[in-house]
Structure 1
């Protein structure tokens, strides 16, 4: 078995968990390849048993790998997606962050989880992505034109709201007068969209949710639409530009640019251990059922 390991930053208390993962892999004869920037941090802080090969954004992972471990929180997994792209490599996250809807392996379950993975005691679940195009093109986006969680439109350098003119399959829907608009996948429904009162959507639902950010038109509510829908947005406001974020990647876009958002032509594969499920994650992370009256 050949696996990739990726992390972004290094928390003071996470060294022992990185070492625990690597040692467990080595003990089971697994070939581990570490992202080069993360490896440079880790080998300064952790006494590794040997040297490891590395990969980078210029030499990304490919189908010769069996899976990719993401060490961190959900933000780390979102960044991991930019390495995997459309090659189909399954991702599994070890949660050394906080909430962790996507990074589901807890720190005290690393050795047990590695054993399950080696024994293929897991399921692979598909998560849809969104893809954006623009006229004129957004140069800073390049070929990283996709997002696993959401594509968000928001105001920039102003306290004034923006107007987001919205069309679904070329039919006019409404103009949101708000701080912005979130277009989220089912995966992203438990992220930024949820914090703006959007609905929780099951990951296998074929849906997209439009969630306005602090709308001034108070009758504006989140809207769930089929993921076959093509969404066109045109933004105007007092400033000449606004922000478009694709998960954690941000671009500045001129007013009156036509944005087209639709489901991406590929999915991301996430590994779900047999003891895990989306419903269990909801109960654990959102404390559903913890009301003492239940």
Structure 2
């Protein structure tokens, strides 16, 4: 079998490009081919991807890799880096471990959203982090009706609503005071943005639920998928959200537990 690795890098970071130039000869000296074009990576069936950037870069790589069963190693060039497995200084010692098969694959839940708009074709989007509903800047408060598996559940009069995976619980949802959920928990998180009701609280629901979101009050709102693609919905439109049939695959080589990662990234020193 061919030994092929793919590189997925944030080209806006010069240090990521510099490291990519160092990684290529390192692999070639060990008999591996290094690819950077996605079409070639898929065609040649790369054994894994190396993401050079931050969590946003890793999100992109993991989403694309999930469709082809390609696991991803995240190298952090960003700030917090909840998702990335290693820092840039650890890259070559980590790669040695991977080539010795000293790693594990961690699967991460993903969500699939179908946007059903009146008079238009349905749209489908898959996310690893979150789906964000937000009002337009000049509009007033919107109300989003949430149905769980066809049954009305809660209304959120708010500036918006975040539907996130456990992976996404440490992203935008965290800044909106949503709870942090371990990636080992199979659940979906609903976090309102600036709720205008004391009863509008975050909810954690089963990953088996089908979530329907309807714009119950307001003319339109923006729906954004993993912070990269946005669609406007209007009154009468529905967004149906379910657990995706595939999962993202992240390469884990260290012994850091999830609580340890949380402590490190949030700089919590109460235990010392």
Q: Flag whether TM exceeds 0.5 (same fold).
A: yes
**1:55 maps to 2:34:** no
1:31 is matched with which residue?
33
2:264 is matched with which residue?
284
Q: Tell me how far 1:77 sits from its aligned partner.
A: 1.4
**For 2:112, what is the secondary structure of its paired residue?**
strand
Q: How many residues of Structure 1 are paired with residues of Structure 2 in the alignment?
A: 269
**1:99 maps to 2:99:** no
Deviations, residues 157-189 of structure 1 (Å, cap 9, x unaligned):
424111101111111112100011111111111
Partner Cα distance (1:281, 1:63) in 2: 34
Structure 1: give runs of 5+ residues left out of the alignment: 35-53
**1:197 maps to 2:177:** yes
**1:170 maps to 2:150:** yes
2:22 to 20, 23, 27: 20
**For 2:204, what is the secondary structure of its paired residue?**
strand
1:74 is matched with which residue?
55
Q: Is the 8 A contact 2:7 2:20 kept in 1?
A: no
Q: Tell me how far 1:215 sits from its aligned partner.
A: 0.3
Q: Is the 8 A contact 1:62 1:89 kept in 2?
A: no
**For 1:242, what is the secondary structure of its paired residue?**
strand
1:122 is matched with which residue?
103
Q: Tell me how far 1:141 sits from its aligned partner.
A: 8.4
TM-score, structure 1 as length reference: 0.84
In structure 2, do the counterparts of structure 1 residues 11 and 89 end up closer, same or farther at CA, with 3 Å as the change threshold? same
Q: Tell me how far 1:231 sits from its aligned partner.
A: 0.6
Q: Tell me how far 1:226 sits from its aligned partner.
A: 0.7
Deviations, residues 44-65 of structure 1 (Å, cap 9, x unaligned):
xxxxxxxxxx334xx6625821
**1:65 maps to 2:46:** yes
2:159 to 166, 179, 189: 179
Structure 2: give runs of 5+ residues left out of the alignment: none
Deviations, residues 41-99 of structure 1 (Å, cap 9, x unaligned):
xxxxxxxxxxxxx334xx66258210011110011112223432422110111111111
TM-score, structure 2 as length reference: 0.91
Partner Cα distance (1:276, 1:2) in 2: 27
CA RMSD, aligned part only? 2.2
Q: Tell me how far 1:251 sits from its aligned partner.
A: 1.6
In structure 2, do the counterparts of structure 1 residues 84 and 13 end up closer, same or farther at CA, with 3 Å as the change threshold? closer
Q: Tell me how far 1:194 sits from its aligned partner.
A: 0.9
Partner Cα distance (1:200, 1:30) in 2: 39
1:44 is matched with which residue?
none
